[in-house]
Structure 1
Amino acid sequence: MSTVSSTSSAADIYSTIGGKSTTSSKEGAEEIQNRFLTLLVAQLQNQDPLNPTDNAQLTSQMSQISTVTGLEKLNSTLSEIFSMYDSAQTMQAAAMIGKGVLVPGNNMAVVEGVGVGGIDLEASAGSITVTIKDSSGKTVYSKDLGEHKGGSFAFVWDGTIDGDPVVDEEGNETAPKAPDGLYTFSVAATSAGGDQVKASTLQAGTVNAVVRGTSGFTLDLGLFGQVPFSDVKQIL
């Protein structure tokens, strides 16, 4: 009658098929478990009656194979979760094409006499002053936007600049307008009590394309270059 040495326990079998074998890692959890149980039954049937397998040892061996099975299932589940997350992120990024976004920066593009910028406030402010400069660094417009709660928000500049009114052929006066082009702006904010509030400028751009890289998605904002998807503070 064939025998199986009690020293060659299921723990050794586990080591061979689950713990140390490089090929077993490629096998499914169910196949590993079936092989383990088959060998364990053979061990129990042929064990030395005078030196039977200890219950604690048996429990430990079963726990080990359960761990292997659990890890196989966990890895499979995590792979599915990552795959679904990746697909959702891809769809979300693709949906950004054609939309306006606010990202860190101090540039403002004036198109057809209108410019859009953004501000990120660390806390609520009672006064927010925006200063806009042209490409030469000359201040062309400054205005207090009033109070606003903390967070990110956009504002629109109608292109009006400081200076004397423009008189048309019929004698009507209109405020001077800034020509289309690229401008820069800065912001200063204070609380209702007069204390300084941290404020950052945000530039508004339109997403022309989405580029996928090793570190995630990058948004192509045309004139403003490419920025990480994670830099988006607000979708307009």
Structure 2
Amino acid sequence: MRTNIVILTGAGISAESGLGTFRDEGGLWAQHAIEDVATPEGFSRNPTLVHNFYNARRKQASAAQPNAAHLALAKLEQELNGDLMIVTQNVDALHEKAGSRNVLHMHGALERALCNECGHRWEAPTEMWPDDPCPRCGALATRPDVVWFGEIPYGMKAISDALASADVFAAIGTSGEVYPAANFVAEADGLGAHTVELNLAPSSGAARFGKVVIGAASETVPAWVNHELTRNRA
């Protein structure tokens, strides 16, 4: 049975790989105000602070390894009879490290750099600084290629097209509070998809899902993937 699946992943799927979530106490996010390190205005005020913050995140993410949840989703992509898209709010590359190929980073990626002047993108070095010139135009306008608060997420048309043909929509490790991603479940449900949330605790939008599975992603995601593959082969 052919099945099309769209999966939204958030920080919760990477937490077991050692990458703290936005709300973790003592993590990188807890040491900084959002408006200082995750907005265009904050970058304009103090680009050095912002680069330091993302340099630390990049270093942390590069050392992290995929966990069982990432590996299970890669297995699902490889064995599914149908189309699979992983839409991730995460800026790490753990899905790709696990072997997933059809991954859309709606909030950008730590591994990429962006020129604020000409829009050129390139592979980010381990550390970035305000005086790094753009390799295309030479402007001193280098920034991380991540989507900050107040900016438009990437790939919204592709996501909407995938949701339109999805038989299953799953949200894994997301808070359910950040739009437009928080509305994907309503969009998928309205188009007739089965919807499921897999989370450590119910999100603020859990009531909108047809099914909610509670537990660590490294346990719940492999079990869910096996269930979907069994159903897919029937």
TM-score scaled to structure 1, two decimals?
0.19
- Tell me: higher relative CO, structure 1 or 2? Use CA pairs within 8 A at least 6 residues apart: 2
The structure whose Rg is larger is: 1
Q: Which of the pair is proportionally richer in helix?
A: 2
